[in-house]
Structure 1
Amino acid sequence: MKILQQLCEIHAPSGDESPMKDFLLRYIRKEMKKWKKKPELFHGDEFQDCLILKFGKPRTAIFAHMDSIGFTVRYHNQLLPIGSPDAEAGTKLVGTDSLGPIVCELEFDRDNHAFYKFGRQIDRGTGLTYQVNFTETKDYIQSAYLDNRLGVYNALKVAETLTDGVIVFSAWEEHGGGSVPYLAKFIAEKWNVTQALVSDITWVTEGVLPGKGVAISMRDRNIPRKKYVDRIIEIARKRKVEFQLEVEGAGSSDGRELQTSPYPFDWCFVGAPEAHAHTPHERVHKRDIAAMIQLYEWLMKDL
């Protein structure tokens, strides 16, 4: 889990994904010589801070967002949320501005507005994220930003044995999206790929429990095409991968932008469930992580 810990510790809130992209480029260039098939890498100005890996003759794409929730420094010690952070007063926040590294504390006023407590003013516009305390036990991983560094980790593990497929590392998902439309356009027009899997992390609920397998989401705020979701469920059963079916009325992902794109994308959210979402203490069962990787490996072969 060393690589997962490194991913969690990278400062990359929505809008500031370049540190994550740079890390991934270094990692992939070093490791891909050991992979079953060497991918083509697509990145640069036309992709902003996103990254695409193309293997062989792709039929299906994995979308994994690189960004995290956090805060932006406003005026007079004020903080604005990036996405929907859920942390208590006293939580340690970290970042860097023109005067150097920052470790400050999160505070709230009586109206629940967020502020930082620090020995000096922090530059306006500075991004702050949770200080990571990565812990591993026999059964669980607990850390800030398992959403979605675990989705990125899953994509990297699948890349080791992938022969035909596309892996897309996207941006801005936690704060409304924006990168998926041009990424979807590129892979649809260049390789005619319109099948997608969303490698993201979902919630532990009364119907989706830790240690019971990867969650296949039949719907959230958005509704994917049932025919496609049924194929994924059939493959999971055929390959005897432990899974759970999720049915929710809230929450969203990169799948929303795929569904509203002008291209006929089929998509499904497939991910491990976590407790304490968007807090500094997100927790995922190792059994669900293993099932997630295993199912993705089969789906990329069978879909």
Structure 2
Amino acid sequence: MHLLKTLCQLPAPSGEEATMTRFLLDYVRQHSPSWHQPPLVVHDEARFQDCLLLVFGQPRTAVFAHLDSIGFTVRYGRELVPIGGPECAAGYKLVGQDAQGEIACTLTVEPAADDAETEVLGYEFSRDIEPGSSLTFACDFRETETTVQSCYLDNRLGVWAALRLAETLEHGIIAFSCWEEHGGGSVPYLARFIYETYGVRQALICDITWVTEGVKAGHGCVISLRDSLIPRRAYVERIRAIARAAGIAHQVEVEGIGGSDAKDLQRSDIPWDWCFVGAPEDNVHTPDEIVAKADIASMLALYQELMRQL
């Protein structure tokens, strides 16, 4: 879990994914010579900003994993504006940096002066933080025999799974995207490039979902039948059939809310097929996200099998 811990410690809230991109470029440069099939690295800031593509062999399927996390932007008067949808509780430890130096502060949550039902987010620190600075949860990575727990397992665990998949991948594309937690926006140009350059129009969304009354920790990774979006059932059933035939532990998800990078594929004018496949976590969007190791193993095994057969 050393790689996963390193990924969770890297600050990369939506809009500031460059730190993660630089790490991935260095990681691929160092490790890809020992992979089964060293990829073509596609990184062009003018066309793809901080996104990154790894292209293997003759690809048929693209795996999308977003690099960004939730967080906070410093406003004025010690107020914070959320990035994405973090769960907020007073006392959470936040870290960051501005021109005056390193920041280690705590989150405050107070009722608004004119509306007791509205919360105002702020921070406690020894000085004022420069407006526009980004803050993220302080990383406290915890590992047991059966679980890993940390901030930003969503989606550093998806990035981890994609990098581990890359070790053995023969044919396929891994697309590392940006801004997913705050509305998306990078997938449309990645998807068009992938389709026009390689003819690929089927995708897997390598992300993390929720433990719910119907999805249990430790019961295998999740194949999502729907969230706020509905994928094409024929494609999802192909994926379920592959999982069953391979004997890989998995469970299905049926939700009416939530979304992922798939939303930009669904709304595209290109006929993309897609399916969300990922491990479930509890304590979503908090500093204490937790995932069962059995579900992590199931997620990686299923991706390896799907990318061989799809």
TM-score by length of 2: 0.97
Kindly provide the CA deviation profile for residues 31-80 of structure 1, in whole angstroms up to 9, marking residues without a partner as x: 00110000000112211000000000000000000000000000010100
In the other structure, the counterpart of 2:115 is none
Kindly provide the CA deviation profile for residues 134-156 of structure 1, in whole angstroms up to 9, marking residues without a partner as x: 00001000000000000000000
Note if 1:163 corresponds to 2:170.
yes
User: Contact 1:218–1:229 at 8 Å: present in 2 too?
Assistant: yes
In the other structure, the counterpart of 1:38 is 38
In the other structure, the counterpart of 1:266 is 273
Kindly provide the CA deviation profile for residues 204-258 of structure 1, in whole angstroms up to 9, marking residues without a partner as x: 0000000000000000000000000000000000111000010000000001111
Q: CA deviation at 1:98?
A: 0.6
TM-score by length of 1: 0.99
Paired residue for 2:283, among 267, 276, 280? Answer: 276
Query: Matched residues in 2 for 1:107 and 1:5: separation?
Result: 27
Give the AA of the match of 1:30: Q
In the other structure, the counterpart of 1:3 is 3
In the other structure, the counterpart of 2:102 is 101
User: Contact 2:92–2:106 at 8 Å: present in 1 too?
Assistant: yes
Query: Matched residues in 2 for 1:87 and 1:244: separation?
Result: 29
Query: Matched residues in 1 for 2:282 and 2:91: separation?
Result: 20
Within-5 A mapping of 1:210-225: 210-225=217-232
Query: Matched residues in 2 for 1:258 and 1:240: separation?
Result: 29
Instruction: Report SS of the residue matched to 1:62.
Output: strand
Equivalenced residue count is: 303
Query: Matched residues in 2 for 1:261 and 1:79: separation?
Result: 34
Query: Matched residues in 2 for 1:42 and 1:125: separation?
Result: 31
Report the RMSD for the aligned CA atoms in angstroms: 0.5
User: Contact 1:271–1:292 at 8 Å: present in 2 too?
Assistant: yes
Query: Matched residues in 2 for 1:211 and 1:63: separation?
Result: 24
Q: Which moved more, 1:37-46 or 1:164-173?
A: 37-46
Unaligned runs of 5+ in 2: 113-118
User: Contact 1:214–1:273 at 8 Å: present in 2 too?
Assistant: yes
Q: Which moved more, 1:276-285 or 1:39-48?
A: 39-48
User: Contact 2:88–2:109 at 8 Å: present in 1 too?
Assistant: no
Query: Matched residues in 1 for 2:272 and 2:124: separation?
Result: 46
Kindly provide the CA deviation profile for residues 234-284 of structure 1, in whole angstroms up to 9, marking residues without a partner as x: 000011100001000000000111110111100000000000000000000
Query: Matched residues in 2 for 1:239 and 1:260: separation?
Result: 32
Moved over 4 A (4+): none
In the other structure, the counterpart of 1:18 is 18
Q: Work out the percentage of aligned pairs sharing the same amino acid.
A: 56
In the other structure, the counterpart of 1:228 is 235
Query: Matched residues in 2 for 1:280 and 1:254: separation?
Result: 22
Give the AA of the match of 1:76: G
Query: Matched residues in 2 for 1:125 and 1:192: separation?
Result: 41
Instruction: Report SS of the residue matched to 2:111.
Output: coil
Instruction: Report SS of the residue matched to 2:297.
Output: helix
Query: Matched residues in 1 for 2:111 and 2:152: separation?
Result: 27
In the other structure, the counterpart of 1:72 is 73
